[in-house]
């Protein structure tokens, strides 16, 4: 499939997350206003399109505000951003971070003596991506399936601030991970229902890449194969997942996944026990009696 700019879907999906972001509907690169990116990696661009060099404290401040949809008290922000410092030192660090912001960056923050927030015209990538995810999960506000494809999959395929382990980042990152997993699976279901199997498979595989041990993601992949009539591929995916689950967790898939591929769970477990009997177990078998 060819996108409007001549790029193929396959080419977009094989790009690195940061490179794929320019195809994402989560950020409108043609509109005015500063932009803060927290998906894939941190990024900031001013209203004129330039990318000012920011100190680590300034980056953390902008990222922190990007994850808040309402004003934050200055003392609260300072405590989250500099948790190991005293209240006075944390407040001083916040003032310093604000002071070091250049004129183009300072316009992105609305600040007063009490609280601070991002300015109204700042675009934040995760907010639009969260909106897309929620529309996919809510029947009454579901997006038009024609809008779903490589850009939407890309918008849901990037981690939130990977390699950032601050206490204010970790729960937000996990919430986003769970939301996008459900959204990718829902997208796969919607696209399968209208026969757009290639994009449905891409959405399902994106969910598998996020969490390889997640059964519902593997089930989404298998359902696409079955909808296309590719039973051999469905069985192959089932065997791959089953082997992974046994190797990593020592457990079997649920009965529902066995049933999805038309296999009886009990019979399969019995067969697997027989086939998987290790050589060391045979070596320890009782020797025949000499009497």
For CATH 1.10.10, list the domain ranges present in the chain.
27-124
pLDDT greater than 90 at residue 130? yes
According to DSSP, residue 109 is labeled: E
pLDDT greater than 70 at residue 16? no
Distances in Å between the alpha carbon of 168 and those of 53, 160, 282, 288?
A: 23, 12, 53, 65
Percent of the chain's residues with pLDDT above 70: 78
Q: What's the residue count for the chain?
A: 291
Q: Looking at residues 43-56, what average pLDDT do you find? A: 90
Q: CA–CA separation, 124 vs 155, rounded Å?
A: 12
Residue 182 makes CB contacts below 8 A (sequence gap 6+) with: 133, 137
164-219: pLDDT as tens digits: 999 999 999 999 999 999 999 999 999 999 999 999 999 999 999 999 999 999 99
The H or E element that residue 124 is part of is strand 123-124
pLDDT of residue 104: 83
Judged by DSSP in three states, 265 sits in helix
219-246: pLDDT as tens digits: 999 999 999 999 999 999 999 999 999 9
Q: CA–CA separation, 15 vs 13, rounded Å?
A: 6
Q: Dihedral sign, CA of 182, 184, 189, 190?
A: positive
| Assigned CATH topology for domain 27-124 | Arc Repressor Mutant, subunit A (1.10.10)
Strand segments, DSSP code E, in the chain are: 35-37, 43-45, 72-73, 109-111, 115-118, 123-124
Q: How many CA atoms lie within 13 A of 52 on its CB side?
A: 21
Distances in Å between the alpha carbon of 133 and those of 41, 178, 217?
A: 19, 10, 16
Phi, psi (deg, nearest 5) at residue 70: -150, 165
Average pLDDT, the chain: 83
């Amino acid at each position: 499939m060819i996108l409007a700019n001549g790029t193929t879907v396959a080419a977009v999906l094989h790009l690195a997350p940061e490179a794929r972001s320019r195809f994402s509907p989560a950020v409108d690169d043609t509109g005015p206003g500063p932009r803060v990116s927290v998906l894939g990696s941190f990024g900031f661009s001013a209203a004129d399109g330039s990318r000012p060099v920011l100190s680590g404290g300034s980056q953390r401040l902008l990222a922190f505000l990007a994850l808040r949809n309402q004003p934050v008290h200055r003392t609260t922000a300072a405590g989250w951003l500099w948790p190991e410092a005293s209240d006075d030192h944390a407040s001083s660090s916040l003032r310093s971070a604000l002071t070091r912001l250049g004129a183009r960056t300072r316009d992105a923050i609305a600040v007063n003596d009490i609280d601070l927030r991002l300015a109204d015209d700042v675009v934040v990538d995760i907010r639009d991506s969260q909106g897309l995810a929620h529309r996919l999960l809510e029947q009454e506000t579901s997006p038009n399936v024609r809008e779903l494809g490589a850009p939407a999959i890309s918008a849901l395929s990037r981690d939130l601030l990977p390699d950032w382990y601050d206490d204010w980042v970790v729960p937000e990152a996990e919430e986003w991970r769970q939301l996008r997993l459900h959204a990718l699976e829902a997208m796969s279901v919607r696209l399968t229902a209208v026969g757009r199997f290639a994009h449905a498979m891409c959405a399902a595989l994106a969910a598998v890449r996020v969490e390889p041990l997640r059964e519902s993601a593997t089930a989404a992949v298998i359902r696409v194969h079955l909808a296309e009539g590719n039973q051999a591929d469905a069985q192959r995916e089932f065997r791959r997942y089953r082997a992974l689950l046994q190797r990593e967790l020592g457990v079997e898939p649920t009965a529902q996944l066995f049933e999805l591929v038309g296999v009886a769970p009990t019979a399969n477990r019995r067969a697997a026990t027989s086939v998987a009997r290790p050589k060391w177990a045979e070596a320890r078998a009782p020797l025949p009696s000499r009497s």
